Structure 1
Amino acid sequence: MFLVPTSRQAHDLSRSLERLFDDSFGNVFGQDARELSQALRSPALDVSETDSAYTVKLEMPGVPKEAVKITVDGRRISVEAEQNKDEEKKDGERVLYRERSVSRFSRSFSLPQEISESDSSARMEHGVLTLTLAKRQAKGGARLTVS
């Protein structure tokens, strides 16, 4: 039976389990736990809609806006980014413990309607990428003449 202490927050428990597995697998496979933590992450997202556009918000903490690549292909949207770790060391300094490492984010999804790339925009604020994706307007109907 596995008991979960009620005084501990779920996040703390989850983090402890991640550390346990990182350390265990690192020892078993002879790899550094930091290498194992460079896994691809799928950022959480929220999608809302108006008559003219979709608004998509993705959580990407610590990622600079220059590292974000957004691809629009009809109804399909792909977002990729990489957050690099700081390798800055001062003379005489040594790292005792490190949990922060390279994080790669990737997420692809399809929307119900095609997107107009030229009318869409993206901005990054406080670790949240906000995409305003304009819906492609249907072209007006044309009449055909019967000959």
Structure 2
Amino acid sequence: MFYSLASRPARSFQRPASSLVRSGALDKFLSDTLGALSDVQPSQTATVEDGDKAYSLQLDVPGLGKEQLDIGIEGDVVRIASKADAARSVKAAWRFPLEIDAAASTAKLEHGVLTLTLSKKIPVSNVATLTIQ
């Protein structure tokens, strides 16, 4: 069997822009949803190392104090964002292979470098054994 592409005039693909596109709502939605890493480029300003019991994350945040940063840990996701009154805007997120133990993790800001030591939550096996009768 042989198939060929159907050709249509270009005008059939041109549609007027919807009100969402014209108002910028779509751009705002995409930047809020997908733009978590847009302000900080992890390959240039952040270093992530995988240790035996913890991950180490170093992020350059010059000009910001510890009271101007928010760090959130939810499962395997770590988010760092600057507060509204901060001198510059920082917004970044990382997803790790294992969940993070927030209680055993630490954060330190020294000379414009934020260093996070993120303890790994070791998965516990929930396997139950059954006795054969």
Same fold (TM over 0.5): yes
- Superposition deviation, residue 84 in structure 1: 5.1
More strand by share: 2
Separation in structure 1 between the aligned mates of residue 94 and residue 51 of structure 2, nearest angstrom:
18
Which gives a bigger RCO, structure 1 or 2 (Cα 8 Å, sep 6+)?
1
On the 8 A contact 1:115/1:133 being kept in 2, the answer is yes
Match of 2:110 in 1: 125
CA RMSD of aligned residues (A): 2.2
For 1:79, what is the secondary structure of its paired residue? strand
On the 8 A contact 1:64/1:83 being kept in 2, the answer is no
One-letter amino acid matched to 2:102: E
Match of 1:62 in 2: 63
Q: How many positions carry a matched residue from both structures?
A: 92
Separation in structure 2 between the aligned mates of residue 111 and residue 140 of structure 1, nearest angstrom:
20
Q: Give deviations 1:76-115, integer Å, cap 9, x for gaps.
A: 1100014857xxxxxxxxxxxxxxxx41111011111111
- Superposition deviation, residue 52 in structure 1: 0.3
Matched, 1:41 2:39: yes
Q: Give deviations 1:42-63, integer Å, cap 9, x for gaps.
A: 1621000111000000000010
Q: Give deviations 1:3-41, integer Å, cap 9, x for gaps.
A: xxxxxxxxxxxxxxxxxxxxxxxxxxxxxxxxxxxxx83
- Superposition deviation, residue 143 in structure 1: 3.1
Separation in structure 1 between the aligned mates of residue 84 and residue 127 of structure 2, nearest angstrom:
49
TM-score by length of 2: 0.61
On the 8 A contact 1:69/1:80 being kept in 2, the answer is yes
Question: Relative to 1, partners in 2 of residues 1:114 and 1:138: Cα closer, same or farther, differing over 3 Å?
Answer: same
For 2:90, what is the secondary structure of its paired residue? strand
For 2:55, what is the secondary structure of its paired residue? strand
On the 8 A contact 1:56/1:131 being kept in 2, the answer is yes
On the 8 A contact 2:68/2:85 being kept in 1, the answer is no
Match of 2:75 in 1: 74
For 2:91, what is the secondary structure of its paired residue? strand
Same amino acid, percent of matched pairs: 28
Please show how residues 1-147 of structure 1 align to structure 2 within 5 Å. Answer: 41-42=39-40, 44-82=45-83, 102-146=87-131
Q: Decide which moves more: 131-140 or 40-49.
A: 40-49
